[in-house]
Amino acid sequence: MIARGVAAVAALALLPLALSGYQVDLLTKMLIFAIFAMSLNLSLGYAGLPSLGHAAYFGVGAYTVGLLALRVWNNFWVDMACGLAAAGLTAALFGLLALRAEGSYLLMITLALAQVLWGIAFGWRWLTGGDDGLPGIPRPAAGLPLSLADGRRFYYLVLLCFVSSVVALGLVTRSPFGRALVGIRESARRMEVLGYNTWRYKYAAFVLAGLFAGLAGNLFVYYNGFVSPAYLSIVFSAAALIMVILGGAGTLLGPVLGSAVIVYLENAVSAYTQRWLLVLGVVYVAVTLFAPEGLLGLVQRRRRADVA
């Protein structure tokens, strides 16, 4: 397992040497959204907490980094730390409100909370730029030995964050804490009888998921050099949800596969039509009907069938 992981990281590290600048940019975007999808998977796939407002933490992190870089102090370490802190604090606050509900009610509360932030970003034009957003956000330079304005250098920063996220989430999901989350997902009542404070476990998972979503938002604002209210919209939340479901909820690398497929499809489809959201909806319906366990689960099921 470790050998395969090392081989995969080595392959990802060597890929930019054989790809064009455009392809490196596309791969960078895939890795950023992989972090975003894995963050949602922690709360949805392991803790069983559905959300249609996960973009809130992604967008808060992005706006924090963008505003600091443009108007306060363009320092990578300070801006990233503040972006992560803002996303984590937002998740901590929203968790206190949202986790009072369950199921579809939880889904709608997370959506409503995210829409509140979207409305603030859209209407607070003097600070956020409104629907025009904040353009011209530079890639990291200050505070680093080398400028990351070059696409390949920036790719390696994203790769480092991606690998760190996979390792960290792998440790979390395989720890007693992660096993308790799975137990709560399967039967919260049973875990309560066993003496677990299920609300605290859910809350910790909710905040951790928001923190990793903030990391993805921080990287994405550097990637695009731009942030707008769209980063807080239901479209981003739905895209992350579909990435998790497509790849396989409750698996560590399923969301990585789902994000790669969705980002590639968006790039390919957008070259021919502007109806990307329609295609995204079709993908969701197809996966729900024909591969409810996700692509990774489908592959694993076929392997078991071949062995049998």
Q: What is the DSSP string of 88-137?
A: HHHHHHHHHHHTTS-HHHHHHHHHHHHHHHHHHHHH-HHHH-GGG-EE-P
How confident is the model over 106-118, as a mean pLDDT? 94
User: Rg of the chain over CA atoms, in angstroms?
Assistant: 19
Confidence of residue 23 (pLDDT cuts 50, 70, 90): very high
Q: How far apart are CA 242 and CA 294, in angstroms?
A: 10
Task: Answer yes or no: is pLDDT of 145 > 70.
Answer: no
Work out the percent of the chain whose per-residue pLDDT is above 70.
95
- In contact, 73 and 79? CB cutoff 8 Å: yes
Question: In sequence order, what are the residues at sequence separation of 6 or more whose Cβ sits closer than 8 angstroms to the Cβ of residue 85?
Answer: none
Tell me if 219 sits within 8 A of 39, measured CB to CB: no
- The mean pLDDT value for 5-24 works out to 89
Asked whether 169 and 252 are in contact (CB, 8 A), the reply is yes
Please state the length of the chain. Answer: 308
261 has a pLDDT exceeding 70: yes
Instruction: Give the integer Cα–Cα distance in Å for 236 and 53.
Output: 9
Predicted pLDDT at 102: 86
CA dist 151 and 136 (Å) reads 16
What H or E segment, with its residue span, contains residue 226?
strand 226-227
pLDDT tier for residue 75 given thresholds of 50, 70 and 90: confident
Higher pLDDT, 152 or 168: 168
For residue 5, the model assigns a pLDDT of: 82
| pLDDT grade for 165, boundaries at 50, 70 and 90 | very high
Question: Could you tell me which residues are beta bridge partners of residue 226?
Answer: 135
Of 166, 191, 157, give the one whose Cα is nearest residue 16: 157
